[in-house]
Amino acid sequence: MVSFTLQEDLQMLRDTAREFAEKELVPNAAAWDEERRFPREAVMKAAELGFLGMSIPEEYGGNRMGNLALCVLLEEINRGCASTGVTVSVHNSLFCSPLVKFGTEEQKRRYLPKMATGETLGAYCLSEAGAGSDAAGLSCAAVRDGGDWVLNGAKLWITTGSEADVFIIFARTGEHRTRGISAFLVEKAFEGFGVGKKEEKLGIRASPTTEILLQDCRVPGENLLGEEGQGFKIALDTLDGGRLGIAAQSLGIGRACLEASIRYAKERKQFGREIGQFQAIQWKLADMATNLEAARLLTWKAAARRDEGLPCTKESAMAKLAASRTCNAAAREAVQIHGGAGYTREFPVERYMRDARITEIYEGVTDIQRLVISRHLMA
Residues annotated catalytic, as ranges: 363
Beta bridge partners of 181: 172
- Sign, CA dihedral 296-359-349-333, equals negative
Q: Is 203 in a helix, a strand, or coil? A: coil
List the x/- string, 138-157, binding to ligand CAA by CB under 6 A.
-------------------x
Among 55, 93, 159, 359, binds ligand CAA (CB under 6 A): 159
Residue pair 209/281 in contact by the 8 Å Cβ criterion: no
Q: Tell me the number of residues near ligand CAA by CB under 6 A.
A: 26
Binding status of residue 37 toward ligand CAA by CB under 6 A? no
The reply on whether position 232 binds ligand CAA by CB under 6 A is: yes
Q: Does 359 bind ligand CAA (CB under 6 A)?
A: no
> Considering the rule CB under 6 A, would residue 237 count as an interface residue with ligand CAA?
yes
Q: Which listed residue (33, 211, 240, 333) binds ligand CAA by CB under 6 A?
A: 240
Nearest alpha-carbon partner for 71 in 97, 45, 34 = 97
User: Which x/- pattern, by CB under 6 A, does the window 69-108 give for ligand CAA?
Assistant: -----------------x---x---x--------------
Please state, in angstroms and rounded to a whole number, the distance separating the CA atoms of residues 125 and 182: 12
Tally of CA atoms within 13 A in the half-sphere of 93 that contains its CB:
34
Residue 135 binds ligand CAA (CB under 6 A):
yes
Quick one: 81 or 86, whose CB is closer to ligand CAA? 86
Residue of 188, 218, 233, 370 interacting with ligand CAA (CB under 6 A): 233
Cα 324 from Cα 231, distance rounded (Å): 27
Residue range at the interface with ligand CAA (CB under 6 A); choices 130-138, 213-221, 276-284, 285-293 = 130-138
Strand ranges (E), 199-355: 209-220, 224-225, 269-270, 273-274
Which one-letter amino acid corresponds to residue 360? E
Q: Binder to ligand CAA among 11, 178, 270, 374 (CB under 6 A)?
A: 178
**Rounded to the nearest whole angstrom, what is the least distance from the CB of residue 219 to ligand CAA in the complex?**
20
Our finding on whether 319 is near ligand CAA (CB under 6 A) is no
- Alpha-carbon distance of 345 to 352, in angstroms, equals 11
Segment (H or E) for 315: helix 313-338
Phi then psi for residue 67, to 5 deg, are -75, -40
Residues in contact with ligand CAA by the rule CB under 6 A:
86, 90, 94, 124, 126-127, 133-136, 157, 159, 178-179, 232-233, 236-237, 239-240, 313, 362-364, 368, 372
